[in-house]
Amino acid sequence: MLMSVKKLKTGLVKNKIKGLALDIDDTLSFTWSYWAQSLQEKFGGPKDLSLTEIRTKYQLVQNVPHWQSREAYEWMEMARKSNEIQELLPLIENSNKMVERIDKIIPVVCYLTIRGQSVIPGTEKWLRKHGFPKAPVIAKPDDLPLEEGSIWKAETLRFLYPHVLGIIDDNPALINYLDASYKGTIFLYNNLEIPQTPLKVIQCKNWEDIPEKVVNFLQT
Ligand SMILES: [Mg+2]
């Protein structure tokens, strides 16, 4: 387990704090939109489809046929490793205000992301710029392949429970890597299809919904 994760757990145990983790990409930052817009400008895109329609149709940018060239993949690699690009990402509307509200109900104790550790500086600047609560950014080890990101995230969540009671995340794939032995809660943001699961998953249509769902969760 990463030193930063162990350190976080030790601190939470010592100070008897229980809180929530937050995903960043497409939960707090509209990373998809920045990527899609940049890729479209550089490499073209499906004609007659708006960016929203492209997202509905293909979901991941990697699935869009126009963006499957070597040059497009190289741009994606560059974007993943660029601290400057993390700083430029648009904010998902109101996510910062809602997180501020949630932090008063239950502390946000970390940002847990499958971005690589090398982009922690740009990520921290972005979080500060938008007024998110101060908490450590736990990022995937740089040498771990991207495809193993969700497995790593699931293991980290398991390790941190019950000091980290759950996560707000947009990625339903995370659920596939956690089994029934995980007692934490996944607040699944902006994703209306929940895979069949024995886990505690709370569907959250938009950010405005989440503070109330957090309050309800703490009362049960
Ligand atoms: Mg995400």
pLDDT tens for each residue of 76-92: 999 999 999 999 999 99
Residue with tokens 């991941």: 60
* Same domain (yes/no): 78, 129: no
Domain of residue 58, residue span: 31-88
* Same domain (yes/no): 193, 99: yes
Rounded distance from Cα 11 to ligand 1 centre (Å): 25
pTM of the model: 0.95
Q: What is the pLDDT of residue 191?
A: 74
Closest among 83, 168, 98 to 133, alpha carbons compared: 98
Rounded distance from Cα 156 to ligand 1 centre (Å): 15
Mean of the per-residue pLDDT values for the chain? Answer: 95
Average pLDDT over residues 169-173: 93
* Same domain (yes/no): 7, 113: yes
pLDDT tens for each residue of 112-154: 999 999 999 999 999 999 999 999 999 999 999 999 999 999 9
* Same domain (yes/no): 95, 148: yes
Tell me the C-alpha distance between 197 and 186, whole Å: 11
Rounded distance from Cα 138 to ligand 1 centre (Å): 14
Strand segments (E) across the chain? 19-22, 108-116, 137-140, 164-169, 185-189, 200-204
* Same domain (yes/no): 96, 45: no
Rounded distance from Cα 169 to ligand 1 centre (Å): 6
pLDDT tens for each residue of 92-117: 999 999 999 999 999 999 999 999 99
CATH number, domain of 10, equals: 3.40.50.1000
Rounded distance from Cα 26 to ligand 1 centre (Å): 5
Residue 168 pLDDT level (bands cut at 50, 70, 90): very high
Rounded distance from Cα 112 to ligand 1 centre (Å): 10
Which tokens in the block code for residue 145? 């392949």
pLDDT tens for each residue of 21-59: 999 999 999 999 999 999 999 999 998 899 999 999 998
User: How many residues are recorded in the chain?
Assistant: 220
Q: How many domains does the chain have?
A: 2
Q: What is the pLDDT of residue 89?
A: 98
pLDDT tens for each residue of 182-207: 999 999 998 777 778 889 999 999 99
Residue with tokens 């919904």: 209
3-class secondary structure, 90? coil
Q: What is the pLDDT of residue 49?
A: 92
